[in-house]
Amino acid sequence: MEQTKEFYQAWDHFMLYASMASVAVAVGILLYHEMKIAQIKEYKDRYDYVNLHEVRFFWYAVVAMLIAGMFYGNTVLSHKIEESKTSWFYVRIFITVCMAIIGYVIFSNLVKIYYPRVLERRLNKLRNKPRISPEGNVMRKLDESEENHHLDAGQMAEEDVHSVDYDVWLDDKTGYKKIEKYYAYQHAEECAECGYYTMKIEREEIERAPTQTEEGLLLKHFHCSYCKHREQREEVIAKLADNVA
C-alpha cells in the first residue's frame, strides 16, 4: 500500500507523542514509588516496603523507557523512508521491535545482576538510620553483645537457627526500647563464583541441635540465581540459655 507524505508526518507525530508519553510513565512510576516511601513514617516500614517493591517498580520504569525508545526509533530517517516508499517503513518497524526485545533481555539481566547491590546499600542506610523514641530522643542501636540482654530466649534462638536478625534500639534517657526483626533470606549476597549480588539462602538444616552444654551446627544452602553456583556454609549455633527447656 502506497503511503502519502501526510501519512508519514502523522505517523512521526504519533510516534513522538507516544515516546514522550512512555517517558512520562517511566518517570511517574519512579515518582510514585518515592512518594509511597516518603509517606511511610517508620524506617522499618520503609525498609520492608523498599525490600519488597523497589526492584519491581524500577523494572517497570525500565520497560517503559524501552517502549519509549521503540516509539522514537520509528521516527528516525522518515524523510529517507518517504523517498524509498513503503518497503523500508515496515523494515524500520521490524528493526525497532527487535531492538526493543533485545533491550528487554539485556536490561532484565542488568537489573537482576547489578541492581541488588544498589538496593542493599539503600536498605542498609534505612536499617541504620537513627530511630527517634516517642519522647523525641535519638535512640542508640545496640551492638551484638549488648542486644542479647534485651532479647528473650525465643528471639535469640531465631537469630541462631532461622536466618532472622534482630536490631535493638534504646533510648538511653528514658529506657524506651524498640526491637526490629529482619529476615536474612530476603537479601542477596555477593556470589564467590561470578561476583554479582545474586546469592541467596535456599534452605537450612540443623546438623546438630544445640543443648545447654554443647553448641549446635547449622548448614546453610546458598544458590546464585545468575551463574547457578551452589555452596554450603556451616555456622555454629550457640548453646541454649539456662531457661530454655
Distance CA 52, CA 186 (A): 9
Q: Are 149 and 155 in contact, with CB atoms under 8 Å apart?
A: no
* 124-136 mean pLDDT: 92
pLDDT of residue 244: 45
Segment 30-82, tens digit of pLDDT: 999 999 999 999 999 999 999 889 989 999 999 999 999 999 998 887 777 76
Query: pTM for the whole thing?
Result: 0.72
* 171-184 mean pLDDT: 88
Burial class (CB in 10 A: 0-12, 13-18, 19+), 105: exposed
Query: Can you read off the three cell numbers belonging to residue 217?
Result: 551446627
Residue keyed to cell 510513565: 25
Residues in the chain: 245
Q: Are 99 and 57 in contact, with CB atoms under 8 Å apart?
A: no
Q: Are 147 and 211 in contact, with CB atoms under 8 Å apart?
A: no
pLDDT of residue 163: 64
Q: State the pLDDT confidence band at 90, using cuts at 50, 70 and 90.
A: confident
* 3-class SS of residue 239: coil
Task: State yes or no: pLDDT of 16 exceeds 90.
Answer: yes
Distance CA 16, CA 78 (A): 12
Q: State the pLDDT confidence band at 1, using cuts at 50, 70 and 90.
A: very low
Q: What is the mean pLDDT of the chain?
A: 84
Q: State the pLDDT confidence band at 186, using cuts at 50, 70 and 90.
A: low
* 194-221 mean pLDDT: 78
pLDDT of residue 227: 84
For the chain, percent of residues with pLDDT exceeding 70? 89
Task: State yes or no: pLDDT of 144 exceeds 60.
Answer: yes
* 90-103 mean pLDDT: 91
- Which residues, 6 or more positions from 127, have their beta carbon under 8 angstroms from its beta carbon? 43, 47, 167, 182
